[in-house]
Amino acid sequence: MTAISDTAAIAQEHWIGLPQQGRLYAKTWTPSTAHKAPLVLMHDSLGSVALWRDFPAQLAQATGRQVIAYDRLGFGQSDARGDTLAPQFVGEEAEIYFPIVRQHLGLTRFALFGHSVGGGMGIAIAAGAGQDCTALVTIAAQAFVEDRTRAGIVDARALFQDAAQLERLARYHGSKARWVVDAWTETWLSPAFSGWSVDAWLPRLQCPLLAIHGELDEYGSTAHPERIARQAGAGGQTAIIAGAHHVPHREMAEQVLGRVQTFLAQAD
């Protein structure tokens, strides 16, 4: 564990050993006024701890909570995977990998913030955690495989045939960059994944939920947050960010931070 100086919070790096598959990289941001349940960030299909940029530190300062982010196996600074993603990979993150992260960091109770497919993972994790999960925020999350989602991924797959685009991604994933792209595009475009949805998990949620979505999200219409909020077991609310695309927390950071701060303050 390595401590890093930060003006708003103490940042620490963590290496989390897996039983057979190497290590996961995680980072925590802990403000001096930390209180209430820590907030765990779940990254998107091309994401990593580093790609959250300064958003975790901003969240820690805005909410007064410890913020935690980790690289899923195969991503960022975590070790590489030798396999392809199974169609049930969203549920596997909740069932296999997150419990190891949770145990290592001693998370008795926690809140979740999931971006894109990380939102689906947040839903799956919260569904299994019961009241240990105090609140859930999804942002640009997919609730099912929509034609708009597939079309956006087809365009992205073509874009990443450009070596320069792959090289940019390699800044965050190193030699794993091609695996990261293929794990996203080939899994989501596979016929075996076409019937995937979060419907089975949503009714099991026992915590408050906020589904944030960009009005212009190229990977999913507002049908996704509406479905997530409507089916959430403990009730949910939506926040559609006008003018935002697939990364509202980068495009409209202040607006997203304000909404999350207000929601979490009321949630627990």
Instruction: Name residue 9's amino acid.
Output: A
In the chain, the largest separation of any two C-alpha atoms, in whole Å, equals 48
12 class by beta-carbon count within 10 Å (0-12 exposed, 13-18 middle, 19+ buried): middle
pTM: predicted TM-score of the whole model, two decimal places: 0.95
Closest CA to 260 of 188, 226, 210: 210
Measured CA to CA, the distance from residue 171 to residue 193 in angstroms comes to 29
DSSP state of 22: -
Measured CA to CA, the distance from residue 43 to residue 119 in angstroms comes to 8
DSSP state of 84: P
Measured CA to CA, the distance from residue 229 to residue 250 in angstroms comes to 23
For residue 161, which phi and psi values (nearest 5 degrees)? -75, -15
CA atoms 126, 132, 135, 137: torsion sign: negative
CB distance 239 to 259 below 8 Å: yes
Domain 2-267 sits in CATH 3.40.50.1820: yes
Residue 3: its pLDDT value, please? 37
Give the tokens for residue 80. 């590489």
CB distance 225 to 212 below 8 Å: yes
Please give the C-alpha separations between residue 253 and each of 60, 121, 201, in angstroms, as whole numbers: 14, 22, 28
Closest CA to 113 of 122, 105, 104, 103: 122
Residue 8: its pLDDT value, please? 66
Give the tokens for residue 105. 């960091």
Give the tokens for residue 176. 């794993």
User: What is the tens place of the pLDDT at every residue in 181-209?
Assistant: 999 999 999 999 999 999 999 999 999 99
Low-confidence ranges of the chain (pLDDT < 50): 1-7
